[in-house]
A and B are shown apart, each in its own frame.
Chain A
Amino acid sequence: MSMLAVRDLEVRYGGILAVKGVSLHVDEGELVCLIGANGAGKSSTLRALSGLAENAKGGVIYQERDIAARPAFERARAGLALVPEGRGIFAQLSVDENLLMGAYMRRDSGINADRDDVFALFPRLRERRSQTGGTLSGGEQQMLALGRALMSRPKLLMLDEPSMGLAPLVVRRIFEVIRDINARGVTVLLVEQNAKAALELATRAYVMESGRITLEGEARALLNDPKVREAYLGESVAP
């Protein structure tokens, strides 16, 4: 079943068209990744899908409903979560409060249990629970951003470059958790510059270049595609 279907998405900044008619779809349970060079339009695409881009055009069908005209907070309440580039940690809120903000829209009694789950996933966050978000390291902030998104019990989780600027060990942990989250039934749309890790994790993938989707397919197939290997995996193709 289709979780998300995007048709001819355009995002404009002033006179510049940054996303030039992107169509993609994510099915329920999938882990789809979107890779591409810096400035290709990946973040703009995710921001438009979550309702943050002001000048976005095109069809966004989420769980069979057209949400293109809905404000960001309504999309979030419908289970569409984004961990944005830069993580969006509330610097002056404590770790605990950041996590509780993740559960802001929930009214059920499982919030504390879910917080314990996040702490089990990232024990470091438990140690730092009363520290403010701004005092955390980059890796800890990414864990917090991920944990906070989980607290909202998303149906579709969109992640914008979760590995950016992190030490290899932390990156590995973050990718493990993303795999776990997906295995627990959360659909994931992952944007990454770390193309190799993303393609190894994903079921399907899209490649984006200057505002357009130029390649798509099974992640495994793209991993062996010579063009992808040369452009994104840093390998020179043998003559």
Chain B
Amino acid sequence: MSAVYGGASLLLLIVSVGFCVSIGSAGLSVSDVWGILLHEATGISIGGPWPSSDVAIVIQLRLSRVVLALLVGACLAAAGAGFQGVLRNPLADPYTLGVASGSSVGAAFIILFGFQSLIGLWTIPIVAFATGAATLFAVFALARSKGVMAIETLILAGVIVQSFFGAFVSFMVSMSQGVVNQILYWLMGSLALRSWDHTYMLLPFALIGIPIMIYHSHRLNLFAYGERHAAHLGVHVERTKLIVLVGATLLTAAAVSVSGVIGFVGLVVPHLLRLLVGSDYRRLVPLSAIGGGIFVLWADTLARTALSPREIQLGVVTAIIGAPFFALLLYRHKSGRGGIKT
């Protein structure tokens, strides 16, 4: 069964990449795009030669953007599945918990005031992680009452923190030399004008964070029965919780560092997959990473082509899909129909 799901999702991934890399506003034909890709990958020329501007469009713009979309989506969806599992909260994701906004404060501060190279290439994600983790801590403190965190209260705390930090980021942009457009970028995320450098910045975090989530996925299954019961069955609860929360925050911070805040990916993708493959986190976490990549890739393709040559913010696309979905989850949770539970 798992092999079937894995195979199907990889196939969908390949088809999606093939499709999304082929369309765009530059007016290149599909055969040109694939000719260039084949030539760049293997040196074999079918057709061509192509002008170097076309090669640059395919490799530097489209392919890099496709790869970045996959990575951002994978990070956010894996983080979402992790948050949902360890907090036993079906409404939790990097966006609704406020962690994405918290991370954006750190990242925006570093970028807007020019401290990018303070501690090397990974300055932005590391600072974003610090502010993201502090945010998560603050949200927990706000939501916890007598050692218990109610599902809706946690999300309410997340929303409060999120709107505060959103305003704070907007304020920082206004104070800096940046253009007002940048506010939109930080609040509603985008993959426009990114380069391979951003991919290199994100890649190590994805390669560390996602395997951490997968490694702990079996334990998340036991968390569903309550922390105490998980401990009775042999799970080192406090350690697992800390690692998964840190890992999910790290993935969120790294994604936000390159793309701004893109909402609901970590909510929509794991829940859709639950409907398809069930609640076993051993399937859910890896498939969420793949599915998140596909989801953001399509959302971004829509964002850059729907009103071409103008771009829609990527976060606008994911929110238009995600917010009604979130409402549905809330409704189901409240009416206790139990269609989707963690």
- The answer to whether A and B interact is no
Question: B residues near A, CB below 8 A?
Answer: none
